[in-house]
C-alpha cells in the first residue's frame, strides 16, 4: 500500500525551508499532499489561490506531490481523505512547544494520527515566511530564501 502523508501549513508564501521539508518527506513517503490552510481568522498576505498557485509552480516537476487546501480542523480533513500521517518542520527548539501542542491536540482528536517532524538543512533553520516578507517589504535580496516565482510575487505584493 502506498505510504501517504499530508504537509499542512499557511505557506504565506512557500519558502526554500518548506521545499526542503517537502523533499525530505518525498524520500520517506510515496505521495505527499501539501495542504494550505484556509483560515479566515488568520490574516494572510497572499490569498489562498495565490498560495496554492505558487506551491504548484514550485513543485511542477515533482510528480509525488499534490497540492490542495483545507478549512476547519486538520483532523477532519485527514479523516475525510483517510490519511494518518502529518508532516511538520522543526527549525529549532523554539518551534517545539507550539508543534508539540498541535500534535498532541491532533492526536487527542484523532488517536490514529501520527505527526512526523523533519529538520530542514541548516541553511534554512532561520527561515520563515514572515521573515521573508519583512525582507521583501524592505526591498532586500530574496534569492537565497524563495524560488524565482515566489520572489516575483513578493516583489509585486510589496511594490
Ligand atoms: P503554520 O501557520 O501552520 O505554522 P507555516 O507555513 O508557517 O504554517 O509552516 C508550516 C510548517 O512548515 C510548520 O511545521 C513549520 O515549522 C514548517 N516550516 C516553516 N518554515 C520552515 C523552515 N524554514 N524549515 C523547516 N520547516 C519550516
Least Cα distance to 16 among 117, 141, 136, 142 occurs for 142
What's the whole-number mean pLDDT along residues 136-146?
Answer: 97
C-alpha cell at 105: 491536540
What's the whole-number mean pLDDT along residues 114-124?
Answer: 96
The answer to whether residue 47 scores a pLDDT higher than 90 is: yes
What is the rounded average pLDDT for all residues in the chain? 97
| Cβ(89) – ligand 1 distance below 6 Å | yes
- Helix locations, 2-140, DSSP H: 16-28, 48-58, 74-81, 93-109, 129-137
Q: Let me know: does 75 contact 113? Beta carbons within 8 Å.
A: yes
Share of the chain above pLDDT 70, in %: 100
Indicate which residues carry an active-site annotation: 18, 42, 91, 129
- So where are the chain's domains? 4-157
| Cβ(120) – ligand 1 distance below 6 Å | yes
Phi, psi for residue 101 in degrees, rounded to 5: -65, -45
Topology of domain 4-157 in CATH is: Rossmann fold (3.40.50)
* Ligand 1 atom index nearest CA of 16: 23
The separation between the first and the last C-alpha atoms of the chain, rounded to the nearest angstrom, is: 48
The answer to whether residue 124 scores a pLDDT higher than 90 is: yes
What was the pLDDT predicted at 1? 82
* Ligand 1 atom index nearest CA of 130: 7
pLDDT in tens, 93-110: 889 999 999 999 999 999
Amino acid at each position: 500500500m502506498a505510504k501517504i502523508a499530508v504537509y499542512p501549513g499557511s505557506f504565506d508564501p512557500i519558502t526554500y525551508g518548506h521545499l526542503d521539508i517537502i523533499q525530505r518527506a518525498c524520500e520517506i513517503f510515496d505521495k505527499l499532499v501539501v495542504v494550505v490552510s484556509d483560515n479566515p481568522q488568520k490574516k494572510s498576505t497572499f490569498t489562498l489561490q495565490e498560495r496554492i498557485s505558487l506551491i504548484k509552480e514550485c513543485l511542477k516537476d515533482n510528480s509525488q506531490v499534490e497540492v490542495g487546501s483545507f478549512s476547519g480542523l486538520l483532523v477532519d480533513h485527514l479523516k475525510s481523505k483517510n490519511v494518518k500521517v502529518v508532516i511538520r518542520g522543526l527549525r529549532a527548539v523554539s518551534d517545539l512547544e507550539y508543534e508539540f501542542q498541535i500534535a498532541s491536540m491532533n492526536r487527542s482528536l484523532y488517536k490514529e494520527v501520527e505527526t512526523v517532524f523533519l529538520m530542514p538543512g541548516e541553511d534554512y533553520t532561520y527561515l520563515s515566511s514572515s521573515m521573508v516578507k519583512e525582507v521583501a517589504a524592505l526591498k532586500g535580496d530574496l534569492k537565497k530564501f524563495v524560488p524565482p516565482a515566489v520572489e516575483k510575487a513578493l516583489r509585486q505584493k510589496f511594490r
